[in-house]
A and B are shown apart, each in its own frame.
Chain A
Amino acid sequence: MAIEVLDMLGMKCPQPVLKIAVRAPDMNPDEILEVLGDCPTFERDVRVWCERLGKTFLSIRDEGKGRKRIQIRF
């Protein structure tokens, strides 16, 4: 299964969450969206979004310099 990647480096929160929300309707159940961001509250926002919308926060990888790569299962 192909993993879709959404690069949101340089975007300030809550912009990344709004971007994810726009992409969400195009995702099918069990598909994975990988989001990349460097806003300080990026991880917290994605976690809250997943919780609120019933998605699975699969994993997070710290890539240094504030960059984080998160996988979300729909």
Chain B
Amino acid sequence: MFRWKNPEENDGAMAEKIKCWEIFQCREEKCPAYGSEKEPCWLVEGTRCRHEIQGDFLGKVDLCIECEIFSVNMDLAAMGASFKAISEQFERARNTLEERDRELENISLEMALGLSEVFEALREISSGDPLVRIPEDSSLELISKLKQLVNRTAENLGEMVDLSHEFAMGLAEHFDVLHRVTRGDMTARVRGDSNVELLESLKQVTNQMIASVHDEINERKQVTADLKGVRKNTVP
């Protein structure tokens, strides 16, 4: 049934070759090799041998090498076409690999730069600086999210630090005012405004207390002066 063909008879077409769909009585009409006489079936991409869809020649070469059609139809012309196809497929694979290599290099670079920024920001935050912020844009979603997380952490930490500073400033001012009062400066008042309700209340209470003590002292001075006046007038 099979007929070995003399390579010199080859006219470049598949007309005199054995047809896979004939030999295997194939009914896969959607197979791109079905009914085709232009090129050997192993060079046709997406064939449907054995009820499976195959890829290019390199992808299905193990299957084809075992196939009778491949052995019988392989001649110089087919070999040349096969080498050409292999060469093209290698070239495509090489280009794909180079492209992926470049992508990986870019990803690695972005990862390294992003992590460096995050590392530096965390170092500054850990040293007590909550004002540090880093740009959140990155081509890598993971790095972008990490940067956002670092910035949110710094913001929250900053709010807590600001609050502690506000308390410290308020405390310092109250300490200063009370110290001036103890030295007799009754004009001393707490003046700084605060967005902390407790500090504002403390300011009012402190200032009222100083004013009350001041009034009390003045009243006593007045009474003392009055008493001295009365005594002076009554003593002969």
Contacts and interface: CB of A to CB of B under 8 A. Distances in A.
A13 B161 contact: yes
B120 interface: no
Nearest to A18: B168
Interface in B104-125: 124
A39 interface: yes
B129 A53 contact: no
A50 B32 CA distance: 86
Contact of A45 (B127, B165, B175): B165
Interface residues of A, number: 19
B169 A25 contact: no
B215 to A, nearest CB: 25
B164 interface: yes
Contact of B128 (A12, A17, A20, A21): A12
Given A40-B128, A40-B131, A52-B192, A14 B168 contact: yes
A27 to B, nearest CB: 11
A22 B175 CA distance: 8
Contact of B161 (A17, A21, A41, A49): A41
A14 B131 contact: no
B129 A21 contact: no
Interface of A: 12-14, 17-18, 20-22, 24-25, 39-41, 45, 48-49, 52-53, 66
27 contacts: A12-B128, A13-B128, A13-B165, A14-B165, A14-B168, A17-B169, A18-B168, A21-B168, A21-B176, A22-B175, A24-B172, A24-B175, A24-B179, A25-B175, A25-B176, A25-B179, A39-B128, A40-B128, A40-B131, A41-B128, A41-B129, A49-B169, A52-B172, A52-B173, A52-B192, A53-B176, A66-B127
